[in-house]
Chain A
């Protein structure tokens, strides 16, 4: 499908921005892939960069690893697959607390399983670029309010039924059904795509009619929205009983307490892939047991890992810890509508009282990226880089507080406990008393979303978020007035309008400007504090396997994994 004129127009704008140095090569590539530009057109845009060194072009996914100390285990970030095919890879995961259900599941282990048996229209690479999966091409129309997607031919589901447009429309109908309880779909498509917006045109392509123009729409139908897998038309709702998909693996067995076994899908559409014979998931009740299993060789890698627990692998040459910068974060929210945080100065005082480098060093072994209290993560192309980076400044804290005695209660659930303890200690040294209130995860998210649930209505809380490809997927719900996850009750019309224009505009320069406005407002008002952006890590037994990589959303891509 040749580039239409809208794509050519966006391409020229991209080239101008590339020449003016606003976008790095990586961001240009990411934008180009999002717009569905054809390879030749991308080539012309890249040419405008002049004599960039060739090395970083070769593998589009390489995120440069700036000079962090690379102690052994080796911290590689480029997946070199050069080993022998075959073998069974065993992956450790935390026991899923609910059943594996592609439409509703949000549990890391469940997602990892159904992502191996089912696929998306578009795949999200580790560097946020998009790659064709069940869709071969996609192109914007009507200034980004209509998107046409061409489906891949010759693909069959594992139960033999052909992969066709009807499977796609039924999958999206299932996701967008108002009663459908799918969590990630609701938050991703809210206000953008409705059930009646999906149709098939006469040439068999899928047409998405949006409610409003949305330049980053391809990300929403990519694996970035983990529930947006394509299921067979007559999917009856219980995945475990008949796991049918187009993915590289077949689900052979599943036990809620023990784990799952998968084997190669011989009729997978991508020839020769996957190289592995099969995969075995082993469930563990707590992170410590999972690390001990990794140490003793019972498992080869993990779905999710905490860097703090992997210190024991330091001296072990057999293990490699792969890293990838991501947009995941722990948000420290302060309710701006109640004391003591109703005054901006108090919130800023808290921001300046935190030693972000020490936090990064103690909790995350220094691998994370320092945050600057606004949602435009460095990983986002539109992220402004010239805002003054906040650091520990006790004098500023003194000045801001002007002698006011500040005490507050910080509510959180077990996964963020260590972060809360470090915060409490640092704030105590700055004269701010913090009382910790740890509650079970169940209690933290229970209650009514609109009135009393602790994670949205307590005075101050810590909420962890997995990475999102598009910044407004955080900005809209979290800081726009009345956003569904606006725990800080922050409301700033400037931010509201900026976020809307960012979403609707397809002009990158315009998006850049809006992003700056949002960042400056958040930086000044400080309704939330972001000390670090998490770097996702994935340790693996490099003595036995190669090609295992970390992914910003902790996905597991095994097509290229081989034995060492």
Chain B
């Protein structure tokens, strides 16, 4: 074992306010060698961030830290004043979860990065030159222009790259990465992780990688430490711990992670439901709900660019796409919360008013919605019973409040609690119960689990599947996470820049051939299929460099080009046609519908399975 660069022994952290309770971190001991990445994993509140910040001396003043922290010979806990500042300047770097708030909004990016060099004593010209080089090294497009921009003018990915540039500028001995990619789009996340991997080998620093996602642990870390309420449960090499977890808490964590490669069909815990693949009422001629040629823009930004689709009765349709692809807007148009500039919504045969307030009580009762953020989906001043009672009364539901509570597995005594006192998961359960209180025909779920803890996400998804199955309600499940969508949906629609680029039954969409964008989504979410292109060449869809082309935020600034909106990012684009001619919609075998110029016809597509 090489000499540890970072040695932590008996680390205890206690917040003055919570003094009577257990300390936030209760005696943690571990070592990290130079060039080695240690993953800190655990549920939120387990103290993984507190440990990292305690080591980097970045805790609020009311936290008291004890125990020894030794970084390459310096006793970090003893540092103070100018010594601490010099240590921060030379040896430590931290990359945060929220890149937007980690950058000073009123200062240009170039100056903020150059400040690190100035602190090192370089003069302005040298600092600026090094800054441009640094921005280039984090593959920032056109570094000189980016340097002059303000943080709010950059995309999420670009902001995180700037933060990383600042962190790596001083070749730190200790690098802390606190959930660096949570909240970023899958494709952007992919780019950041690859950047970290590439730069990691050039540095010889001890790296702490904090995350709640075992996927990332597997991909990014050498060793991993599993934490539970401030204590170290297990520690060891990644493949050992994940392959054969010694403590049952680790095993529990691993199980409840979202079944990456499963669909509801083959999920063991759902065996009691005899889920047929095809919904009972095969394909009735009149779908439950259809949307015809809906278009909508917010100022210059095109949210929906002429979308037509339908949802069958009792069918679960997944709607997946990056942020800004218009998927949420489509959901809101269906529920009537957003009135589109153009287009019609039909419930069964009848066209219903675009604005929910002008719809009849009957059509309102049919379409309900589950919102994304648990904290604002329920009125904090109301009690659970009140919420469900009111929904049931207004929507004319038949089942009693207690039945509703039971159907979402809420304990009876929780009914009389204020909604504010519930946990995230419990709030979403109430929100789901409220949606089905009036026997709705369609429930639009807008990223219902993305704001929840990993462990809770799986249980909510299973709950949705059960409810959908028992009550034969159709779901429109909107999410940016393809694996969540593929787990749940009978049919998937992939959206990009306000249009549906590919739709079809789940297995057909998951299997090649794919619309190039779908391929990129699949690669980003770890499915790693080797995609053989039409002309036989293997485009390792997952090959890092292929997808590292700069992912501009879809739709945000893309002008409605006459041709295919995915043109700039499409690795398989046909020069001359794709950017000028709008791609046709082609119906292929197995119910697959694709909007693309590429010839998908040759029948041999299906052999090359994942």
Determine whether A and B are in direct contact in the complex, meaning some CB atoms lie less than 8 angstroms apart: no
> Interface of A with B (CB < 8 Å)?
none
> Interface of B with A (CB < 8 Å)?
none
